[in-house]
Amino acid sequence: MVAAMTTETATKTLRPRAPRAPRSGPDLSLELEAGPGAVVCGVDEVGRGPLAGPVMAAAVVLPPAGLPPEIAARIHDSKALTAGAREALVPLIEAHALAYCVAEASVQEIDDINILKATMLAMRRAVDGLGVTPTLALVDGNRAPDLACAVRTVVKGDGRSLSIAAASIIAKVARDRVMAELHALHPDFGWDRNAGYPTAEHRAALKHLGPTPHHRTSFGPVREELRLRR
Q: What's the rounded Cα separation, in Å, for the pair 157 and 123?
A: 15
Question: What is the CA 101 to chain-centroid distance, rounded?
Answer: 14
Where is 163: in which H helix or E strand? helix 162-185
Question: What pTM does this model have?
Answer: 0.87
Q: What's the rounded Cα separation, in Å, for the pair 138 and 147?
A: 11
Q: Are strands 55-61 and 40-46 parallel, antiparallel or unpaired?
A: antiparallel
At residue 226, the 3 state secondary structure works out as: helix
Separation in Å, CA 203 to CA 108, 110, 188, 197: 20, 20, 11, 9
Q: Which residues of the chain have pLDDT under 70?
A: 1-23
Which residues, including other chains, have CB under 8 Å from residue 2's CB and lie 6 or more apart?
none
Per-residue model confidence (pLDDT) at position 11: 36
- Max CA distance (Å), the chain: 84
* Architecture field, domain 29-185: 2-Layer Sandwich (3.30)
Per-residue model confidence (pLDDT) at position 187: 97
Beta bridge partners, 151, equal 137
Tell me the per-residue pLDDT of 56-95, one tens digit each, with 9 for 90 and over: 999 999 999 999 999 999 998 888 899 999 999 999 999 9
At residue 75's C-alpha, the angle toward residues 70 and 77, to 5°, is: 170
54, 110 contact by CB (below 8 A): yes
Which residues, including other chains, have CB under 8 Å from residue 42's CB and lie 6 or more apart?
31, 59, 60, 61, 62, 137, 138, 140, 157, 161, 162, 163, 164, 165, 166, 167
Per-residue model confidence (pLDDT) at position 6: 34
Q: Are strands 136-140 and 150-154 parallel, antiparallel or unpaired?
A: parallel
